[in-house]
Chain A
Amino acid sequence: MPEQEIEFKGTNFTLSVIRIEKNDLTLLDSQLKNKIAQAPQFFKCAPVVADISEIETFFDFTALKQIIENNNFVLVGICGHTSPEQKTAAQDAGLAIVNKGSAQQNKRTEIQKPQPEAQTPVETTVIENTPTKIIKGQIRSGQQIYAKNTDLIIMGSVGNGAEVIADGNIHVYGTIRGRAIAGASGQHESKIFCQNLQAELVSIAGVYMLSEQLTEHANLPQCIQVEDQKIVFNPLN
């Protein structure tokens, strides 16, 4: 067997950003010490990124790294609009250039910008996707499965008297004989997919239909969605 190769995977992390307003490392040092005094345990070995957007002149990255590390932080890299010279200097000092994430996060930072305390580390919360809930096997009568803030995949059938609920979409690779409730927190765009529809009830974002109204769409693979507050069936083949 060949040896397993190293895997590179992209993942999101929540990091604190230290915004450096002035090219004054002594000031930074004292400000950091003040911050740590407020919550020593919280900041201990915290990974940080230095935002140097405001700095346009030459910057001593080696000294910055030293100061931050002396204060028991771990400097991961730098971010912000940097000139090519600064990038090279940062990389020479062994620092990574970190790009900020999506527009959503930029918005968040913008909202927080008017705050007077510019040195406060700005939390950039990276919104992670809730992984889809996947259940292998039959969902038996009396069982209830809820996929909070995400999609639900059932690799099996849903029995009479069983309930599958998701805030997102529901996929059933089998027959739905019980109840399927998608968009449980009001997400109108949610859909229900199944290989065979024999459900007691289907509901999307509160719009529902009972089995007696489903008869003409029954026993078929279906994609079920809501249009104009009405349940709409699209046979899958």
Chain B
Amino acid sequence: MAKVIVVTSGKGGVGKTTSSAAIGTGLAIKGFKTVIIDFDIGLRNLDLIMGCERRVVYDFVNVIKGEATLNQALIKDKRTPNLSILPASQTRDKDALNKEGVQKVLDDLAEAGFEYIVCDSPAGIETGAIMALYFADEAIVTTNPEVSSVRDSDRILGMLASKSQRAEQGKEPVKEHLLLTRYNPERVTRGDMLSVEDVLDILAIPLLGVIPESPAVLKASNSGSPVILDTESDAGLAYGDAVDRLIGEKVEFRFIEEEKKSLLRRLFGG
């Protein structure tokens, strides 16, 4: 059974695509046959983050409209075996998606043996976002530690509980995970950022991971390589932990506490 995971947030710019790329890649590294679908029709980004923008021939909308086969549109990742990308169309808009079409593509992907289908949702709560979350079994709600992002995540959690297929058919609800991104423990201590506890208190869903704010994320995006591959960076390691937790392993949280600078480093300004 393929597992459909939506990466969503409501608010834009919080790290949905970065997280989709990192988590999708992480699952593939673990040996699961994984596909990441870009649902952001008209604002295609995933291909850039994954570094496969030069290889896009056909896209998700072409497959839905029957203009291309799934195999023609799927891009196999060059770095990670087991990983494929289904890019969004840049020339259409969100109305090009419909439930029947999306359902067919998801069914075909499951039949092709994909174990994880990661849906990278567009921002907002309109058609595009609803299409991305409608068929989800699990949801990774990406949130920044600030009030507007938390409120938008709350809104999208409400959508998951009412607008998803699982909700409509009265099945077991979508399994929700909180992924806190751009977390900066020093700013939390100074009081200008919400803490993990604050966000958990408001959203009341299980915590999947805390990704520290890191220059490695921007660097990774610009070089078209998912940050999880950068095992030197704290962000990369934190995504690795999140993937472990997603597949059911117990991993301690790190990068939540402020790093204590040693006496020597303080003296020499390290």
Contacts and interface: CB of A to CB of B under 8 A. Distances in A.
Nearest to A143: B158
27 contacts: A137-B161, A138-B157, A138-B203, A139-B158, A140-B154, A140-B155, A140-B157, A140-B158, A141-B152, A141-B155, A142-B154, A142-B155, A142-B158, A142-B159, A143-B158, A156-B204, A157-B202, A157-B204, A159-B151, A159-B154, A159-B158, A160-B147, A160-B151, A160-B154, A160-B202, A162-B158, A175-B201
Contacts of A160: 147, 151, 154, 202
Contacts of B151: 141, 159-161
A179 interface: no
A177 B152 CA distance: 14
Interface of A: 137-143, 156-157, 159-162, 175, 177
A142 B125 CA distance: 11
Interface string B208-230: 00000000000000000000000
A177 B203 CA distance: 11
B77 to A, nearest CB: 35
Contacts, number: 41
Contacts of B152: 141
A177 B161 CA distance: 19
B55 to A, nearest CB: 39
A175 B151 CA distance: 15
Contacts of B158: 139-143, 159, 162
The SS class assigned to the B binding surface is: helix
Interface of B: 125, 147, 151-152, 154-155, 157-159, 161-162, 201-204
A86 B63 CA distance: 83
A138 B155 contact: no
A177 B155 CA distance: 13
A126 B36 CA distance: 60
A197 to B, nearest CB: 15
Given A142-B155, A142-B158, A160-B151, 15 more contacts: A137-B161, A138-B154, A138-B157, A138-B204, A139-B158, A140-B158, A140-B161, A141-B151, A141-B154, A141-B155, A142-B125, A157-B202, A157-B204, A161-B154, A162-B154
B143 to A, nearest CB: 12
B202 A159 contact: yes
Contacts of B147: 160
A26 to B, nearest CB: 58
Nearest to A156: B204
Contacts of B203: 138
A157 B154 CA distance: 11
B66 to A, nearest CB: 36
A137 B152 CA distance: 18
A139 B202 CA distance: 11
